[in-house]
Structure 1
Amino acid sequence: MPKPAASLNLNELNSPRIHRLHGYWQHQRDKRGGQLPRRGDIAPDQIRDLLPNIMIVDVERDPMRFRYRLVGTRVVEYNGVEFTGRYLGEIGWPEEQDLIDSYAFVANSRQPFFGLLAWELVTGAVGRCEFARLPLSEDGEAVTQILAMEDYDFPQLDATPSGVGTTR
């Protein structure tokens, strides 16, 4: 995983997948009268084409920890490691604290978090990943899980780098 380059507003993201997932999440929230949706409100058959990019992250408290309950196949492919069932902070990525901080923001604020990750590829091109973290709650109040998505954009091998400093 690259280091987060920027947190963004939803309207600054280009990913149609993230916009679609957020719209679906918001619809589920609206159906619950504005309360956070439960995991059971998320029907995989309604977002089947998004599943390869989706993660479900468990939120544990005292101490606060984040466990990857489900990791989509495209996320595993692009990260080069299967991390289903593992905790953030135990995987070994150098930027895990940045990831923990973004999940903690969602868990504590009960608000979605959107952003952009960018890094230099070994070819000199720039890899991009827009991401979303959407809170889920079993009681409509405390965040118990986070519905996350990563949408990747890898340029052609002959693309010109745009000056991103993080090397993957």
Structure 2
Amino acid sequence: MTTPEPDWVEMSHRDIRAMFDYWRGKCAGRLMPARGDIDPADILPFLPYVTLVDVVADERRFVYRLIGTMEVALRGGDPTGKSVVEAFFGRSAESVLRKYQTVCTTRAPYHERDDYQVVDRYVGEENLFLPLSDDGEQVNKILVFSINRDLYDVVP
């Protein structure tokens, strides 16, 4: 089974495309790869921007397992071990949970682009949510890869 190329791929940052291509290569004819198929040594430059979330069968639903160093710096803290509801990073817990749930329901990658203003500049953010499955059917982990970059200065 090959995953068709989504519409967003061509317009994405080259690192988002590279991560998507890596994930797709690890599918090896399956709907999605397992966590064990992902070798951190293969994606070393991307690790600071990676978040790994466990999908759990209790009220927490999504739990941060691993947070890359750049993601920790951006958040201002390390949410490892906390549920997404406790330590979400986004507009609202509901909007963040909806993205994770979409990945679980569709068993397919989810891409988003969000440009926003911080104090003195505009930041462009792209996030890629990639499903992982130990049994090839049920999503049990989600790998999130994020790119954040300054778009341009607001103040001269």
TM-score normalised by structure 2 residue count = 0.86
Partner of 1:154: 150
Partner of 2:126: 130
Q: Given the alignment, which residue of 66, 83, 86 partners 2:62?
A: 66
Q: Given the alignment, which residue of 102, 109, 113 partners 1:116?
A: 113
- What letter corresponds to residue 54 of structure 2 in structure 1? D
Equivalent positions of 1:5-154 (< 5 A) are 9-13=8-12, 15-29=13-27, 31=28, 33-63=29-59, 65-91=61-87, 95-123=92-120, 125-154=121-150
- Report the alpha carbon displacement of residue 88 of structure 1 after superposing the two structures with TM: 1.0
Contact 2:34 2:133 in 1 (8 A): yes
Tell me which of the two structures has the higher relative contact order, counting C-alpha pairs closer than 8 angstroms and 6 or more residues apart: 1
Tell me the percent identity: 30
CA shift digits 1:2-60 (9 cap, x unpaired)? xxxxxx722222x221111111100010x2x2231000000011111110111111012
- Structure 1, unpaired ranges of 5+: 1-7, 161-168
- What letter corresponds to residue 65 of structure 1 in structure 2? R
- What letter corresponds to residue 47 of structure 2 in structure 1? L
CA RMSD in angstroms, aligned pairs only: 2.0
Question: For this pair of structures, how many residues does the alignment match?
Answer: 149
Contact 2:84 2:93 in 1 (8 A): yes
CA shift digits 1:129-166 (9 cap, x unpaired)? 10100000000000000011110012454468xxxxxx
- Say which structure is richer in helix: 2
- Structure 2, unpaired ranges of 5+: 1-6
TM-score normalised by structure 1 residue count = 0.81
User: C-alpha separation between the residues in 2 aligned to 1:37 and 1:142?
Assistant: 11
- What letter corresponds to residue 18 of structure 1 in structure 2? I
- Report the alpha carbon displacement of residue 62 of structure 1 after superposing the two structures with TM: 4.7
The SS at the match of 2:87 is: coil
